[in-house]
A and B are shown apart, each in its own frame.
Chain A
Amino acid sequence: QPVLTQPPSASEIPGQSVTISCSGTPSNIGKNYVYWYQQLPGKAPRLLIYRNNQRPSGVPDRFSASKAVTSASLAISGLRSEDEGDYYCAAWDDTLTTSCVFGTGTKVTVL
C-alpha cells in the first residue's frame, strides 16, 4: 500500500508560520487531488483542504495549500495554540487498484 510521506513533526512559536510537505508519486498526487485533514488531540479528523487548495466553510484563511507535480504542502500562518495537533495529507492512488492513501502525518507543536 503506497503512502504519502510527511515530516513527522513541525514546530513554531505563536504568530509565526509553519509549512508541512507531502511527497507522493505520479500515480497519486501526480494525477489526483490532494486533501488535508486536521486531527486535534483526542478528536476525529476534520477536513481542512479539498481539491488541492480549497478551504471548506469555517476553515480560517490562515490555512493554505498548494500542489506541485508529485508533492503538496500545507501552510499555517499566524500560528495559534489551538492549531496544535496532527495533520494528514491524502490522495487517491491509481497503482494497480484505485485506493485512497493517507500521508504519514505531521505533528504540529506550538511552542
Chain B
Amino acid sequence: QVQLKQWGARVLRPSETLSLTCAVDGGPFSGFSWDWIRQPPGGGLEWIGEFQDSGKTKYNPSLKSRVTMSVDASRGQFFLNLTSVTAADTAVYYCARADYSAPEAYGMDVWGQGTTITVSS
C-alpha cells in the first residue's frame, strides 16, 4: 500500500519561507506527478501546483510568484517551498500523487496525512 508521509516546520512568522517534504513509501516514484494542495481553516481545497514526471511544473497562477516545487527521485521525495508567507497562508497542506496519463487518468489517488501550517507573528 503506497503511503505519502509529509513533514515540515509548522509555525512560521510573516515573510518567512514555508518548506515541506513529502516522502513516497511503498511504491514507485517515477511515472507519476506530485501535487501540493492546501486547505485554510474552515475552507475548501486549493491546488498549489504539480511536479510532473516529465520534469515540468505547473503552479496555481495566484501563487506562482512565490512557489517552487522540486523532487529528489533517488530518495522518493518531493518538496514545496512557498516564500514570503502571510497569515493568509495558514492552512493544512497536503501532498498527493497524481496520474493524469491516458488512458487511466486516475487523478490524485494517494494523499498525505496533511501538515498544519500556522503563520503568526
Chain A residues engaging chain B, CB cutoff 8 angstroms? 1, 33, 35, 37, 39, 44-47, 50-51, 56, 86, 88, 90, 92, 96-105
Q: Which chain B residue has the least Cβ–Cβ distance from A47?
A: B109
Q: Is B107 a contact partner of A47 (Cβ separation < 8 A)?
A: yes
Q: Which chain B residue has the least Cβ–Cβ distance from A51?
A: B105
Q: For the complex, would chain B's binding face be called helix, strand, loop or mixed by DSSP majority?
A: strand
Please count how many residues in chain B sit with their CB below 8 Å of the partner chain's CB atoms. 24
Q: Is B45 a contact partner of A37 (Cβ separation < 8 A)?
A: yes
B59 at the interface (CB under 8 A from A): yes
Neighbour of A33 across the interface among B37, B59, B94, B105, CB < 8 A: B105
Minimum CB–CB distance from B82 to chain A (whole Å) comes to: 16
Known contacts A1-B60, A44-B94: A88-B44 contact under CB 8 Å: yes
Q: Binary interface profile of B, 96-120, with partner A (CB < 8 Å = 1, else 0)?
A: 0000100011111101111000000
- Chain A residues near B65: list those with CB within 8 A: none
Known contacts A37-B45, A100-B47: A50-B109 contact under CB 8 Å: yes
Tell me the bound Cα distance from A105 to B46 in angstroms.
Answer: 11
- B residues 23-53 in Cβ contact with A at 8 Å: 35, 37, 44-47, 50
Neighbour of A56 across the interface among B35, B37, B106, CB < 8 A: B106
Q: Which chain B residue has the least Cβ–Cβ distance from A86?
A: B44
Q: Is A1 a contact partner of B62 (Cβ separation < 8 A)?
A: yes
B13 at the interface (CB under 8 A from A): no
B58 at the interface (CB under 8 A from A): yes
Q: Is A105 a contact partner of B107 (Cβ separation < 8 A)?
A: no
Contacts A51-B106, A56-B109, A105-B45 known; 10 new A-B pairs at CB < 8 A: A1-B60, A33-B107, A35-B108, A37-B108, A44-B112, A44-B114, A47-B107, A99-B59, A100-B50, A104-B44
Q: Is A1 a contact partner of B105 (Cβ separation < 8 A)?
A: no
